[in-house]
Chain A
Amino acid sequence: MHTDDRSAMRAKFAPPTETPRHSGMSRRSLLATAALLITTTGATAKVVTKVLPWRPNEAYPVTPVVPGGWLFFTADEAAVVDAIIDRLIPADELGPGAKDSGVTTFIDRQLTGPYGGHDWLYMKGPFATNPLPTQGLQSPLTPRQQYRQGLAALAAYCKANFGGRSFVDLSGEDKDKLLAGMEKGDIKFEGFSSRMLFNAVHTNTMEGFFADPIYGGNKDMAGWKLIGFPGVRYDFRDVIDNPNKPYTLPPVSLQGQPAWGVR
């Protein structure tokens, strides 16, 4: 059914196997139950009448990702993802890259949540074999399936074309050539679209590098520092009042700044 209550929706957003740092989830489930009122009419519905259904301190935070280990990837898969994203956003003189910024952890945790299963999307068939380019996403494969099958196809391709080696062991130049071919769709994997794998990793890498660090990537706000995005500072009236001036304050995330210590 589509009518999951919102606490269930929120709970699905975070990886289920992690311990919430805020005790919000169970409390919200309780509230959701309390909101199921039996009306005077006898109908079971979430009814709002006479007062706003609002309680002090009620909010719906996400569960912060705790780095360490893999919830979806195997160790081999994670090593290959690390190696790919290290080419997509390399560490260089401009600062850390995707690998050092926790982006593999970000992707791993995203894949275990509702995004990884396309849980919120319309996934009924029939699935067209030849959709128009204007019709967008039409594959029955969820992100989890794309990664599992795509990384296996990449491993098989590398083994067959690079003398039994893994992607991880290729030279930087070979990795870049292969990724460029995947991006264009010129590289043909056995049984899987190389372009689909590239697009999945590229999209998720950009998300992880620039999303709030609460999701496991963008460690120390490296992505935000790269471009000068100040994060969630909330009030920029001073910037509007001082046009064309460089912004000098460091970024702030949903959990504050590292310098402020662990909350």
Chain B
Amino acid sequence: MVRRLPRKDVAIVGLGWTGSIMALELCRSGLDVVAIERGPWRDTATDFNIGTAPDELRYAVRHDIFLRTRQETLTMRNNSSQTALPIRRWGSFLPGNGVGGAGSHWNGQTWRFLPDDFRLRSKMIERYGEGIMPEGNQIQDWPMSYDELEPFYDKFEYVLGISGKAGNIKGQTQAGGNPFEGSRERDYPTPPMKQGYSQELFMKAAAGMGLHPFPRPSANLSSAYTNPYGCSMAPCTYCGFCERFGCSNYSKSSPQTCVLPALVREPNFEARTECEVTKVTLSGDGKMATGVVYVDANGEEWEQPADLVLLCAYGLFNVRLMLLSGIGKPYDAGTGEGVVGRNYAYQTGSGATAFFDNVNFNPFAAAGSLGAALDDYNSDNFDHGPHGFVGGASITNAYTNGRPIMYRPTPRGTPTWGSAWKKAVRETYQRVTNVGAQGSVMSYRANYLDLDPTYKDELGRPLMRMTFDYQPNEIKMANWMAERCEAIAKAMGAKTTQINRLNTPWNVVPYQSTHNTGGTVTGSDPKTSVLNRYLQSWDVPNVFVMGASTFPQNAGYNPTGTVGALTYWALDAIQKKYLKSPGALVQQ
């Protein structure tokens, strides 16, 4: 028996980055907002306490603060001829759970995508002709440009206090920054982080090769900072417990450090935690959302009526909620028709491991976003003509941590146990570094999300099924990048190097990247997108969807900067257009 609660102006599903920003800004617009979050409330002082937080086994290995697969998981297969099976233990990616979401346990690498990334299809065809487009691709231009998003990237970066060095201010190239980046209105709010010895070698070697290294933009703050919401942060101490952990030091930008202290003071805001939204309810004709249904901590079901429904869960779960609610036509890989679940993409990882003699890299003195990067091989910053692939990668030399259960590299061929292993693990720890390439993945007809026919969650709803594999274009790109990485590693003075090619087929076991994109993509054409350019559902205009599920394909960067920019962009449209005249913001 579902019981109905009094109406709210706005119901937000998920209280991570996008949900907390939307909630705060819409409360300030005078609306009554309820955020419904399936995990627990989490706070720095209690949940990320310095006396308990730096615990590798509990957080990094046993996944204490992540979504538990028992709560929800996906099934996976590499192609549609196979039978998908549930991901029983997270590996390749790690969805968050609870207030703060993945924004509490991320590393904090906060990029802007390049201007070319937003018009990838047009740009590639203009420069190289149709022939370069990979077989089976569904690459499409974004419905908004970099220039349109720039003020919203800026806003997000200033809320987070990002530490970095601009490479392009108002069209003027800035020494020490990324010369390939799109023009920005002003510099980062805080200076770049200090770099370690390995990055010193990397920057010198790369510059010597004519490349353009720079300190990467970081949400681990280089100095104390108070953001426009009045939230204060402390400088990072390079403790090396960022990804998979909450920051105990108020140094890593997160909903906890940057938004929630301001949000809870809004008198018309309410969060309900440990409540799982099971579906968005629709009007009889299916053209308007009437609210959401959720199950509370006691297993009781409630209907929360609302005028506006914002899906702000982790991208993958926004896709599933759309499928379970019947909003938008589900994608059918057989016919290529339908849109929800279409254009799922991911990222490639490749690179080179470099072994040195007589150095102390001190890998434990690290931070999630510490590192030097270069963009010479990203997006269309280089001539793709001779290589025959589209896309690119950001290349990085970084230490996010030296935590020894998971980080204890040995040269290939070393025994995995015994005295010989012991000797190797001891000798290698201080003298190994990595040059890595995080590469784009295009969207393809063959890679998609739909509902699984067999496996169900605890509430009896079908799990979502992920059908994904790396396509020849990505394999070619990633392996070419690995060679670029190895050349830099050699120039750094490595005694020996090992090249790390892309692992194929895609495997759910080793951690690769929590940069899952697509499934509810934004676009100009309702036949190939779920959302219009304001991230508003084409079919149900009082539903907006935030997060990386809106990306038409993935770029060679971490997605959160773009997720944040898109959130402020959609918010701007909601505040300035939608609230004045509720309805479709783009006519079909």
Which residues in A have some Cβ–Cβ distance to B below 8 Å? 1-3, 5-6, 13, 36, 41-55, 58-62, 87-90, 92, 94, 115, 118-124, 126, 128, 131-138, 176, 179, 183, 202, 205-207, 210-212, 214-215, 223-224, 226-237, 239-241, 243-247, 254
**Residue in B45, B70, B507 whose CB lies within 8 Å of A123:** B70
CA distance A233 to B241 in the complex (A): 11
Distance (whole angstroms) from the CB of B432 to the closest CB of chain A: 11
- B359 contacts A244, CB within 8 Å? yes
- B274 contacts A46, CB within 8 Å? yes
Binds A, one of B122-130, B260-268, B388-396, B492-500: B260-268
Which residues in B have some Cβ–Cβ distance to A below 8 Å? 3, 5-6, 40-41, 43, 45-47, 49-52, 54-58, 61-64, 68-73, 76-78, 82-83, 85-89, 91, 194-197, 200, 237-241, 249, 260-261, 264-265, 267, 269-276, 295-300, 302, 359-362, 364-366, 402-405, 408, 416-419, 421-423, 425-426, 429-430, 454-456, 458, 505-509
CA distance A126 to B453 in the complex (A): 12
- B422 contacts A239, CB within 8 Å? no
- B360 contacts A3, CB within 8 Å? no
Q: If the complex has contacts A46-B272, A202-B416, A244-B360, are A122 and B88 also in contact, measured as CB distance less than 8 A? A: yes
Interface of B, helix, strand, loop or mixed by DSSP: loop
CA distance A204 to B261 in the complex (A): 40
- B54 contacts A232, CB within 8 Å? yes
- A58 contacts B364, CB within 8 Å? no
A-B contacts, 7 of them at CB < 8 A, read A36-B297, A43-B272, A47-B272, A94-B423, A134-B509, A136-B508, A176-B418
Distance (whole angstroms) from the CB of B155 to the closest CB of chain A: 24
Nearest-CB residue, chain A, relative to B98: A6
Of the listed residues B6, B273, B295, the one surrounded by the most CB atoms of chain A closer than 10 A to its CB is B273
Distance (whole angstroms) from the CB of B344 to the closest CB of chain A: 16
**Residue in B52, B82, B88, B302 whose CB lies within 8 Å of A121:** B88
Residues of B within 8 A of A46 (CB): 40-41, 272-275, 297
Q: If the complex has contacts A45-B296, A92-B422, are A240 and B365 also in contact, measured as CB distance less than 8 A? A: yes
Q: If the complex has contacts A60-B49, A136-B89, are A236 and B77 also in contact, measured as CB distance less than 8 A? A: no
- A94 contacts B77, CB within 8 Å? no
Nearest-CB residue, chain B, relative to A230: B364
CA distance A212 to B61 in the complex (A): 12
Nearest-CB residue, chain B, relative to A211: B57
Q: If the complex has contacts A121-B70, A232-B54, A254-B55, are A45 and B46 also in contact, measured as CB distance less than 8 A? A: no
Distance (whole angstroms) from the CB of B264 to the closest CB of chain A: 5
- A212 contacts B70, CB within 8 Å? no
CA distance A13 to B82 in the complex (A): 36
Distance (whole angstroms) from the CB of A32 to the closest CB of chain B: 9
Residues of B within 8 A of A44 (CB): 296-298, 300
- B6 contacts A41, CB within 8 Å? yes
CA distance A232 to B425 in the complex (A): 20
**Residue in A45, A52, A92, A132 whose CB lies within 8 Å of B264:** A52
Q: If the complex has contacts A48-B271, A122-B69, A138-B88, are A94 and B417 also in contact, measured as CB distance less than 8 A? A: no
Residues of B within 8 A of A87 (CB): 417-418
Residues of A within 8 A of B366 (CB): 236
CA distance A87 to B41 in the complex (A): 44
Nearest-CB residue, chain A, relative to B86: A122
Residues of B within 8 A of A41 (CB): 5-6
Distance (whole angstroms) from the CB of B13 to the closest CB of chain A: 15
Residues of A within 8 A of B408 (CB): 210, 227
CA distance A20 to B205 in the complex (A): 53
Nearest-CB residue, chain B, relative to A236: B365
Residues of B within 8 A of A124 (CB): 86, 455-456
- B88 contacts A137, CB within 8 Å? yes
Q: If the complex has contacts A46-B273, A49-B269, A207-B405, are A136 and B88 also in contact, measured as CB distance less than 8 A? A: yes
Residues of B within 8 A of A61 (CB): 49, 51-52
CA distance A233 to B248 in the complex (A): 13
CA distance A188 to B77 in the complex (A): 29
CA distance A60 to B49 in the complex (A): 8
Nearest-CB residue, chain B, relative to A224: B404
CA distance A124 to B260 in the complex (A): 36
Distance (whole angstroms) from the CB of B542 to the closest CB of chain A: 22
Distance (whole angstroms) from the CB of B427 to the closest CB of chain A: 9
Distance (whole angstroms) from the CB of A229 to the closest CB of chain B: 5
Residues of B within 8 A of A119 (CB): 70
Residues of A within 8 A of B6 (CB): 41
- A48 contacts B273, CB within 8 Å? yes
Residues of A within 8 A of B270 (CB): 47-49
Of the listed residues A48, A132, A237, A239, the one surrounded by the most CB atoms of chain B closer than 10 A to its CB is A48
Distance (whole angstroms) from the CB of B97 to the closest CB of chain A: 10
Nearest-CB residue, chain A, relative to B40: A6
A sample of 19 more A-B contacts (CB under 8 A), given A3-B274, A215-B57, is: A3-B298, A41-B5, A43-B272, A44-B298, A48-B273, A49-B270, A59-B47, A61-B51, A87-B418, A92-B419, A94-B419, A124-B456, A137-B88, A138-B88, A229-B429, A234-B237, A234-B249, A236-B238, A254-B54
Distance (whole angstroms) from the CB of A154 to the closest CB of chain B: 16
Distance (whole angstroms) from the CB of A3 to the closest CB of chain B: 5
Residues of A within 8 A of B298 (CB): 3, 44
CA distance A239 to B450 in the complex (A): 49
